[in-house]
Structure 1
């Protein structure tokens, strides 16, 4: 007998898809980020992974910017808050900020997104609480501490955005080479200070510059009263 065509399976016999939740969407988005990078993390790609339509996701996440902010907040759960560390409050504060920056370094592209879409979830609030607690330990006035936290996170985020590996490393190398050439070959008659500071302008490892920047900002926050 000829083979009979297989009967189409009834929808009732198929396993039910897990119900969509914001937590599940964000968790899947983090997996895509880690395996494929931020550029691939689109609402369409996420919907495909979750076996649903993009329109279904907008019930839980308004747009891609909000999705990126939620993903960043999820990643902030592993920031080292230096709660069991020794050292001065300034050193522990720098350690927390360095850990935050390292997360952005590990996920190129996310730092650029973080500049315009700041997270607002539980992990971000936890980070803010820890930063404020360390400034409070140093008896930094509350107003200076509140504004200072914003300044410190902006500096960390922008630094990571600047140094995160771009998609085209050849372009990045070319840009750095062009900048180096412009500084090193600056006309000492037209730009005497640039020419005189050429070596220092280009010197220093990113980690050393980051640490110096944090220490400079912390000192300024501690000693600069708010203006009315």
Structure 2
């Protein structure tokens, strides 16, 4: 005769960790690093956390908010120094923005998401604080500094979204080679300006162009007054 199996009480089962916003974001970051942002969905995170998708909406209103929170978590890796030894405000500003752009280069899907969904967590606020501090040391009026930070982040984010995506496309080098051949092969009578600006039109490293572009935006911020919005 077989002994009757004793039922296991629910009280003796290991308790699942309580859900928290931080815990959800940590899992989302892990999934993104291993499988890409497209896998960071409420359904997938619910499976990882052994719960139902509806439970996650208590902490995240939407997938867009979740992606913004993932970006904010990664922003903790951006160059933290506001006063690097021997570096002036402009060099420090370019260094912080370059660090931000390189971070997004590693995650181009997140960069594309950041173009439309901006984070609002502690790391993002810290980044904005650093940019405001460094840019204000350039002597521009407060209004230009305040508006300028948005332009700097847009330029850096768009650059990361464009180039980060290209680097991961199998045919990106073929595309570049085709563009180079087309530019160098133009008829001077039909495209005189393209011909006149070669080879500089296609020259320069990615880092050099990023640094130059950031300085263009910085110069524009310093020398372009904010329009009067009181009228």
In the TM superposition, what is the alpha-carbon distance from 1:81 to its structure 2 partner? 2.8
Partner of 1:126: 126
Pair 116,8 (structure 1): closer, same or farther in 2 beyond 3 Å: farther
Residues 178-225 of structure 1, C-alpha deviation per residue, up to 9 Å, x if partnerless? Answer: 333332222222211112223222111111100001111112211221
Q: Is the CA contact 2:83–2:92 (under 8 Å) kept in the aligned structure 1?
A: no
Partner of 1:63: 62
Compute the TM-score of the two structures, normalised by the length of structure 2.
Answer: 0.90
Q: 1:186, 1:6 → 2: CA distance?
A: 84
Partner of 1:54: 53
Q: CA RMSD in A?
A: 2.0
Q: 1:21-32, aligned counterparts within 5 Å? A: 21-32=20-31
Q: 2:9, 2:183 → 1: CA distance?
A: 70
Partner of 2:189: 189
Pair 74,36 (structure 1): closer, same or farther in 2 beyond 3 Å: same
Partner of 1:216: 216
Pair 198,9 (structure 1): closer, same or farther in 2 beyond 3 Å: farther
Count of aligned residue pairs for this structure pair: 227
Partner of 2:203: 203
In the TM superposition, what is the alpha-carbon distance from 1:167 to its structure 2 partner? 9.0
Partner of 1:34: 33
Q: Secondary structure at the match of 2:84?
A: coil
Compute the TM-score of the two structures, normalised by the length of structure 1.
Answer: 0.91
> What 5-or-longer segments of structure 1 have no aligned partner?
none
Confirm or deny that 1:164 pairs with 2:164: yes
In the TM superposition, what is the alpha-carbon distance from 1:19 to its structure 2 partner? 1.2
Partner of 1:154: 154
In the TM superposition, what is the alpha-carbon distance from 1:166 to its structure 2 partner? 5.5
Q: 1:226, 1:205 → 2: CA distance?
A: 33
> What 5-or-longer segments of structure 2 have no aligned partner?
none
Off by >3 Å, runs of 4+ in structure 1: 4-10, 165-168
Pair 62,178 (structure 1): closer, same or farther in 2 beyond 3 Å: farther
Q: 1:74-89, aligned counterparts within 5 Å? A: 74-86=73-85, 87-89=87-89
